[in-house]
Copies of this chain bind each other. A is one copy, B any other.
Amino acid sequence: MISKAKSKYIKSLQVKKYRIQEQCFLVEGAKSVEEVVHSAFEVQMIVATQSFLDTSKVLLPKETEVLVANESELSELGSLQTNDSIMAVVRMKPNKELTVRANEFALALDDIRDPGNLGTIIRTADWYGLSKVIASEETADFYNPKAISATMGSFCRVEIYYTNLAAYLKDCSVPVYGTFLDGQSVHGFSFADQGLIVIGNESRGISAEVEKCIKTKITIPRFGKAESLNAGVATAVVLDNLRRSKK
């Protein structure tokens, strides 16, 4: 049984305003919690079902408060439709400036609004070995429970930095690539050894202000009739072409 005060506190972390106030966020489900307890993140509190605690092999960090809840309590506390295992309250990291080094690629997100898309993009970046994402201030919150869930644990390995994206790109010294309908085909495209790849908003694409900072326009060739690709899908196709061009 969880006290009303704790229940209210945990539920409040579904809302960005309270996450910022408390500097904490929710991690839900066995896989994501397992990743976070092995990461550099500081786990503040664990809530789990007794049956999960009895049978799971997830090593819980010492000195962390562990609360026991039944399935329906646990599901009610978080954003998942059902959760029969575990969730964690974790401290957010500060919004630290990120720099793209030599021989490194990173993503730049120009107003990705959907938390699920953001999470999928983080997971895809991790698959392709990218560990930095620069995001415009209007991009969905990295710590939104839906974004965290969609990363499937990759939030532990990919850092994000929210900033004025156009100003950041103007000052950056590496090549800046962006996907447009009228750029050079990514099939056989020769990327530099480092750079930033800009991904545009789900409906408007890349904004005019950010477009001015893009030195090279690239395009994913189309073979059918869809007008555009989902933002996460476009990210994956560009990164796949980037990685195969470097082999």
Residues of A with Cβ closer than 8 Å to B? 116, 120, 123-131, 150, 152-154, 157, 187-188, 220-230, 232-233, 235-237, 240-241, 243-244, 247
Tell me whether A227 and B153 are in contact (CB under 8 A).
yes
**In the bound complex, CA of A163 to CA of B228 (Å):** 29
Partner of A127, one of B150, B229, B235: B229
Partner of A157, one of B127, B154, B224: B224
Tell me whether A127 and B240 are in contact (CB under 8 A).
no
Name the distance in Å between A100's Cβ and chain B's nearest Cβ. Answer: 16
Partner of A226, one of B127, B223, B227, B243: B127
- In the bound complex, residues from chain B placing their C-beta under 8 Å from that of A232 are 120, 230, 232-233
- In the bound complex, residues from chain B placing their C-beta under 8 Å from that of A128 are 222-224
Closest to A151 in B: B226
- In the bound complex, residues from chain B placing their C-beta under 8 Å from that of A131 are 224
Tell me whether A126 and B228 are in contact (CB under 8 A).
no
Partner of A224, one of B120, B126, B220, B233: B126
Q: List 30 A-B contacts (CB under 8 A).
A: A116-B116, A120-B233, A123-B230, A123-B233, A124-B229, A124-B230, A126-B224, A126-B225, A127-B220, A127-B223, A127-B224, A127-B228, A128-B222, A128-B223, A129-B224, A129-B225, A130-B224, A131-B224, A153-B227, A154-B226, A157-B224, A157-B225, A157-B226, A187-B244, A221-B243, A221-B244, A232-B232, A236-B237, A237-B240, A240-B240
- In the bound complex, residues from chain B placing their C-beta under 8 Å from that of A127 are 220, 222-226, 228-229
